[in-house]
Structure 1
């Protein structure tokens, strides 16, 4: 059985680590925040003081950091994975980056003897913690075959979307443009119901059993009507960043993204007003304009 590592032990990375351990893998991890390291150690993870130490101890390392600059540092830096992993190992890039950033990492890794699997994930905090993430994996088939058991430990759906770095990130950017639009439409519909005086439970019951009902909509409505705007594992910074990536790809390819652009602005407003909030806090921005809130049992 391969040894594994996780760099970035936040809401998503901690779930990766938990499920790797649950499936019998030895897991070495690193994060800059002491509380995350303590929580990882409590789940029987092996602490590492640096990315280099994770790499030296692992055949496969998940990289779950926030942005492209961080990914490049932990993968390509002097104390990064490429310089310290055993030959034949794999960097599993599960963070969401700009496609061009994944391409640049792949180009820099050529000839290193280390594989790169470009596989951003979807499923959020529940999917990470439950081991049910969807993976959009881009790498040669033989590489994906070899490291399939590691990926299957954290995912219930692994889609092979390409063979070269950047292709996984491209599919994720397309997905996030849709999810952003679903979020923003849900926030606006919730505010409309609040102003009209419709109880949140009625809206949830109707939406969730209609053709519009889906995991994104239903979960957002649950959080809104129960007024759970922080600490739900879906920090607004992440979706804001992902929409920025989608918009960047649209600009590169000359594709107009009207609804994604509207969602981007709503998330920008929510992030500016409530920087510690989760995705659903965008609804509060609209509620404050209209002077009504959506609660489970009725508007206030």
Structure 2
């Protein structure tokens, strides 16, 4: 059985680790927050002192950090995976970063004998915890074949979208432009319903069985009508960062992204007003403007 590592044990990485352990993989992990380290150890993982210790003990490692600079440091920095992993091992870049950042990491690994799979994921906290993530994987035939068992432990849908670093991140940027728009439209529709006095349960029932119904809309509406705006595993910083990547790719390629740009501004407002909130907290900003809140059993007038 392969030994596997996870760098970054937050909402997403902890789900990866949980499912790797459940599937019988010896799992090593590293995070900068002690509480996450302890939670990982409690679930049966080996909490490493540093990134190098993870690299020395595994055949494959998932890098699930927040930013491209962090991924670069973990993989190519002093004491990083490029220095500690044995040639022939696999690095799975599951963090969402700019395509250019993934390409730079790929270039930095040339000559190390390490295999990079550029594979951002979708499915959020629920998908990570349930092991049902969608993976957008770009890697060579050999890399994909070798990493397949560990990928199957955390994913229900593995899509081979390319062979070179950056190709997975490009697909993810396209996806996030769509998801951002779906979120934003849902937030606005929820505020519209609240102002009109429609109960949240009615909106959830109708939207969920309509042609617009999907997991993104249903999950967002459930959080809104139950007023769960923090601690749901979908911090607003992540989606805000992802939309920034989508917008940057559109600018780089000369593609107008009108709807994604509007979503970007809605998330920017939500992040500024409620910096500790999750994605759905954007709805609160709109509700404050219109003076009404959407609750499961009805709308509440606030002014």
User: Which TM-score applies when normalising by structure 1?
Assistant: 1.00
Secondary structure class of the residue paired with 1:128: helix
Q: Does 1:231 align with 2:204?
A: no
Paired with 2:92 and 2:264, the residues of 1 have a C-alpha distance of 28
TM-superposition CA deviations, 1:140-180 (whole Å, max 9, x none): 11210111001100000000000000000000000000000
TM-superposed CA distance for 1:260, in Å, is 0.2
| Structure 1: gaps of 5 or more residues | none
1:141 maps to 141
Q: Does 1:14 align with 2:17?
A: no
1:46 maps to 46
Q: Does 1:177 align with 2:187?
A: no
1:67 maps to 67
Paired with 1:249 and 1:34, the residues of 2 have a C-alpha distance of 35
- How many equivalent pairs are there? 300
1:215 maps to 215
Paired with 1:142 and 1:84, the residues of 2 have a C-alpha distance of 21
TM-superposed CA distance for 1:78, in Å, is 1.1
TM-superposition CA deviations, 1:83-103 (whole Å, max 9, x none): 000110011000000000000
Alignment of 1:71-220 (within 5 A): 71-220=71-220
Q: Does 1:254 align with 2:254?
A: yes
Secondary structure class of the residue paired with 1:157: strand
User: Which TM-score applies when normalising by structure 2?
Assistant: 0.99
TM-superposed CA distance for 1:2, in Å, is 1.1
Paired with 1:285 and 1:141, the residues of 2 have a C-alpha distance of 47
TM-superposed CA distance for 1:232, in Å, is 0.3
Paired with 1:219 and 1:25, the residues of 2 have a C-alpha distance of 31
Paired with 2:193 and 2:44, the residues of 1 have a C-alpha distance of 47
| Structure 2: gaps of 5 or more residues | none
Paired with 2:275 and 2:31, the residues of 1 have a C-alpha distance of 22
Paired with 1:78 and 1:58, the residues of 2 have a C-alpha distance of 18
Paired with 1:32 and 1:72, the residues of 2 have a C-alpha distance of 16
